[in-house]
Structure 1
Amino acid sequence: MTSLLVPLRVAHSLSGFQSRKILSHPLASSAMKPLQGMTAIVTGGTRGVGRGCAVELAAQGAHVYITGRTLHEGDSRWPGSLESAIAEAKALGGKIDGILCDHRDDEQVRALFDRVVAENSQLDLHVNNAFLIPDDIDPNAPFWESTLDCWDDMHEVGARSAYVATWNVAPIMIKQGKGLIANISSEGARYYTLHVAYCAAKSALDRTAQSCAHELRPHGVAVVTLWPNFVTTERMLALDAEEWNLELDGAESPRFSGRGLAGLLQDENIMTKSGRVYTTRQLAEEYGFLDLDGQMPVGAPDPGESESIFAPE
């Protein structure tokens, strides 16, 4: 089964948001949007952080492709769909194309990249965001009381799907001689969070990004990992904060991560960041942007040093 492109396209218009550092960038100093002319893919873009990243990137001028399995609102128990994400971007003057894609199906993933390459002269950013957290996961139960499927779900659509997408996108960006790949991870990669399987899958995302960065560095392709903190996603807001031990004071909006990605895309020294882990707040402090409410979120714990495991050349 091949991917189905949702036939909804929207045009660009000027965006009101620009960060302090981005204001000094040549792209931002012109009349067009900061990311005008750039193309990005965000996997798992129907809701949550993925949707926020896609909408923010589109609002800043990028042509964004999002993937997801939910076409219409109501097709899932959780709010969010390809159509509603496209509509949100359109309201901000952004351009998003939605592609139905199950990231457990390697052929659908291959078809995604074939389509994007056929429709665009280059691919500037790929975001590995898709991550399957089982609906029946119990945050208060030990791992031995959960099913083994829990491990399979978060590694198949999470660790493995990110590797498969990166395997597909690497030759595209190598041919271009440039590009940015970003894995959306979390503090669960280093600190206990939610479930053993969750922590293992997030650790895999960080380690994969680090190793891919080492191999792609000679080709001018950067790979980074991004840690959002608590995010006011549709799913997070629907959960019982006490049962899940959620601290939403100082939480960040889903679009906050997108602003960090926009900063990375315009960073002329991006290769110095390749192979590293960054919190969204670290990027906000470096690039000079705030969240939608004008505030600086608390941010995830400092990931610490994330130097390459290989000796420098």
Structure 2
Amino acid sequence: MLQLGDEVTLYSVVFVVVLLGTRSAVWTTALTVSLYVFVAVFRFPQAPADRAKHILHPARGGHGSGKVSAIAHRGGAHDAPENTLAAIREASQNGATGVELDLEFSADGVPILMHDDTVDRTTNGSGPLSKIRFADLRKLDAAAKHRLRSKYSGEKIPTLEEAVEECIRLQLTIYFDVKSHPDEAAAALKALYKKNPVLYNSSIVCSFEPKVIYRMRQSDPGVVTALTHRPWSLSHLGDGVPRFSSPWKLGWMTLLDVVLDWALHHVLWRFCGVSAFLIQKNFVSQDYVQYWANRGVEVVAWTINTKMEKEFYQEIMHVSYITDSLLEDCEPHY
């Protein structure tokens, strides 16, 4: 539930800003009330807490302990070629409670598993997905750039449907990570949920983009959803390197980062009705976990790639985590 403090802060800020801008008490009151009505009418409620808990803490055993779940990032990108059926099977064999999978689309609109919007980094092909039809994507070797490419040589780029069928067979929870294409993604996922109702109790749709989550809830309010966030992501890369050489542009994007961070934590999470918040590990603390617990939202940390970190999140933080490997320590993927 949205805390009273959140509401008071939000509408107080709006009231003061509008008042300073208009110098009119009447207009300020009218605009603030209009915003309140808009949010109240168009926001989505959270999915039932018991269903969200069942998804975030499945009964299936594995590397997670007790209340903690271990989710294989991109299917476990260190242990097998990312976003492939081989990765899903390897994650299951290695004890993952679930897998995080990236949704993208081929040039002819086929939903597939792929993290990037090009095939260059992970396959023996080259070019943007928006220019490659699925029949041609299918000819590529999805293991070509992986450290274990000889073991997984010839692994294909799977369709979203193939991946879902494999996860259902292996009883793995699915974290659908949607990078873009909100309308297409919502339509594709809605069709999958309709075909496989078990997904309502075994999957969650996640995205860095609030508009993706909002569109998903519009399409099917029964789907459990989460927002993904890494503070300073607009201005800096995952390793902390600035995205822009221009001081002016870097400063502007840093300011937008501050606005986005505030909006996600005080407005957008409620507007979308999310049940979980996936946050980059460097920003997780006990106070942060409690902040979200007070709002009925669960924290999931990423990317946890060392034995020491996993023990910390399992035994001390009691926070579920996303990892690139269920087998050994490795460098993180951002």
Band the TM-score falls in, shorter-chain normalisation: 0.3 to 0.5
Q: Tell me the TM-score normalised to structure 2 length.
A: 0.34
TM-score under structure 1 length normalisation: 0.36
Task: Give the number of the structure whose alpha-carbon radius of gyration is greater.
Answer: 2
